[in-house]
Amino acid sequence: MDYLVIVRTGWVFPADEFKRQLFQRWPAVRLEEIRNPDDNDALTFEIPKTRRGLHGALSRDGKAVVFSGELEDCAEFAQWCRSLIAADQEVLFCDEAMNTSLILELGMAPEAIVQAVVASYGQGR
């Protein structure tokens, strides 16, 4: 399943800074910059993790990061993304179909994200 971190205000992830932060946090990250200006993504990445790995992309407009992997890894990654964004910005964490979405608060524990996702799927089924 794909998850997204979406900035709902005017703030954007500058691609060069996002790339620098990825390498700083995960030195083994594999990254590809997308040169085609017609592509929706500015870069794609793969982070080797303890579970099955995490794959994702930064949107060209810098307003969203989409990623997939184990839910626990995705929750940790989402919180890491949130830590890069100014505290006064509204940030949404959601799945690709918007079956679950929550405001991603700065400092929110990854476990709280996992619990919110699991609870939202329990209510919808």
d(CA 103, CA 108): 10
Average pLDDT over residues 120-124: 67
Token code pair at residue 122: 């329990």
- The CATH number linked to 61 is 3.30.310
Structural domain span for residue 84: 2-124
Write down the pLDDT at residue 53.
86
Number of domains in the chain: 1
Cα separations in angstroms, 18 against 1, 45, 79, 100: 22, 11, 14, 25
**To the nearest whole number, what is the mean pLDDT of the chain?**
91
For the sheet with 2-7, list strands across it. Answer: 30-33, 41-47, 54-59, 64-68, 2-7, 91-95, 101-103
Look up the pTM and report it. Answer: 0.90
Average pLDDT over residues 77-82: 96
